[in-house]
A and B are shown apart, each in its own frame.
Chain A
Amino acid sequence: MKRWLPLVVFLVLVGFFAKGLFLNPREVPSPFIGKAAPAFTTTEVCQPSKLFSAADMKGKVWLLNVWSTWCPSCESEHEILLELSQKTSAPIVGLVYKELRGDSNIDKRKVKELASNEESALVCQRVTDRLQQLGNPYALSILDNEGKIGIDYGVYGVPETFIIDKEGVIRYKQPGVITDKSMQEVILPKLKELGA
Chain B
Amino acid sequence: MKSLLFSLLLALTTPVFAGEALPVGEDPAIEQRMIKLSEELRCLVCQNESLAGSHAELAEDLREEIRVQMKAGKDDKEVINYLTTRYGDFVLYRPPFKPLTLLLWLGPALFLVLGAGIWYFTLNKRSKLKETPVDEKQLAAAAHLLEDNK
Which A residues lie at the B interface, using CB under 8 A? 25-26, 28-32, 98, 102, 147, 151-154, 156-157
Contact = CB atoms under 8 A, between A and B. Distances in A.
Nearest to A32: B86
A145 to B, nearest CB: 12
Given A31-B87, A151-B62, A156-B58, 10 more contacts: A28-B87, A28-B88, A30-B88, A31-B86, A31-B88, A147-B61, A151-B86, A154-B87, A156-B45, A157-B44
Nearest to B87: A154
A152 B86 contact: yes
Contacts, number: 35
A143 B118 CA distance: 63
Closest 7 A/B residue pairs (Cβ): A156-B44, A154-B86, A31-B88, A28-B90, A154-B87, A147-B61, A156-B58
A152 B88 CA distance: 12
A101 to B, nearest CB: 8
Interface of B: 44-45, 47, 57-58, 61-62, 65, 84-90
Contact of A102 (B47, B57, B85, B88): B57
20 contacts: A25-B47, A28-B87, A28-B88, A28-B90, A29-B88, A31-B84, A31-B85, A31-B89, A102-B57, A147-B61, A151-B65, A151-B86, A152-B86, A154-B86, A154-B88, A156-B44, A156-B58, A157-B44, A157-B45, A157-B58
A8 B100 CA distance: 26
A144 to B, nearest CB: 11
A130 to B, nearest CB: 20
Nearest to A28: B90
A102 B90 CA distance: 24
A102 B58 CA distance: 9
Nearest to B58: A156
Contacts of B85: 31
A156 B45 CA distance: 6
A112 B10 CA distance: 50
Contacts of B62: 151
A98 B90 CA distance: 24
A151 B89 CA distance: 15
Nearest to B91: A28
B45 to A, nearest CB: 6
Interface core residue of A25, A152, A154, A157 (most chain B CB under 10 Å): A154
